[in-house]
Copies of this chain bind each other. A is one copy, B any other.
Amino acid sequence: MLRNEGSLGGEGSEGEIVSERKAVVLLSGGLDSTTVVAIAREQGYSVCALSFDYGQSHAIELDAARRVAREFGVERHAIVKVDLASFGGSALTTEQPIPKNRSAEAIGQGIPVTYVPARNTVFLALALAWAESLGATDIFIGVNALDYSGYPDCRPEFIAAFEAMANLGTKIGVEGKRIEIYTPLISMTKRQIIEEGLRLGVDYGMTVTCYDPSETGEACGECDACLLRLKGFLEAGVDDPARYQR
């Protein structure tokens, strides 16, 4: 279920010395998590990228995650299957329609139907399990509280609470190494995220942001995620290289 995908020089291969600090980086294949991979690489981390096949209807994300992992030469890329769709409760994992063409005001209000119950808790928990098994203490997640404050599990208070819990509930934490959850994008606007990524050489044409892409990977341009992305590129004064349906 956990597959170790394309890796440029994994540990132990051919007696190679791996001297970099390891970090587990959550990678969906979207704009935010891809930028986080670039940031972690720039900070000198050897990246162990973790993606999830969680029954999302837009599984085309995973192809994007594979491209990003390859492009950035991550040490390992694991795709873990975890069937959140069986639990139900979200438009992202059921047949429930994805809201389209909502105003910026509507997007900013309340918790959207695309919220997946406890998703980031589950993802961070599995990242923690992998990090501890690797002997790594650093975990990166591309949550953003500014553009999308509707998701409770993207807020700094949630991340701080998760980190506190992680340090109490693991061997590595209890034995005195500090587990850190890094959220480099948490206070950035979408424009700032894009500008940072471009500075680091990210090709955003590789990434998939859309909640409702076509089977050939074209973005709808109308869901909340597309609208926020397009607004970010507009504000940055850069063309979005993603393919849109119209």
Residues of A with Cβ closer than 8 Å to B? 1-2, 78, 80-84, 86-89, 111, 115-122, 124-126, 128-130, 132-134, 152-153, 155, 157-158, 161-162, 164-166, 168-175
Contact = CB atoms under 8 A, between A and B. Distances in A.
A46 to B, nearest CB: 17
Contact of A171 (B111, B130, B133): B111
Given A161-B164, A169-B152, A169-B153, A121 B129 contact: yes
B125 A152 contact: no
Central interface residue in A1, A125, A128, A162, by most chain B CB within 10 Å: A125
B152 A158 contact: no
B117 A132 contact: yes
Given A87-B133, A111-B174, 15 more contacts: A1-B81, A1-B86, A81-B83, A82-B126, A87-B134, A88-B133, A118-B169, A118-B170, A121-B165, A121-B166, A152-B168, A153-B170, A155-B168, A157-B168, A165-B165
A217 to B, nearest CB: 25
Given A2-B83, A87-B133, A161 B155 contact: no
A152 B128 CA distance: 14
Contact of A130 (B78, B87, B164): B87
Contacts of A122: 122, 125-126, 128-129
A56 to B, nearest CB: 14
A166 B124 CA distance: 12
B133 A129 contact: no
A169 B173 contact: no
A63 to B, nearest CB: 21
10 contacts: A80-B82, A81-B81, A82-B82, A87-B134, A117-B129, A117-B170, A121-B128, A152-B173, A153-B170, A161-B168
Contacts of A120: 169
Central interface residue in A89, A116, A157, by most chain B CB within 10 Å: A89
Given A122-B126, A161-B168, A117 B133 contact: yes
A80 to B, nearest CB: 7
Contacts of A168: 152, 155, 157-158, 161
A117 B171 contact: yes
Contacts of A152: 168-171, 173-174
A162 B169 contact: yes
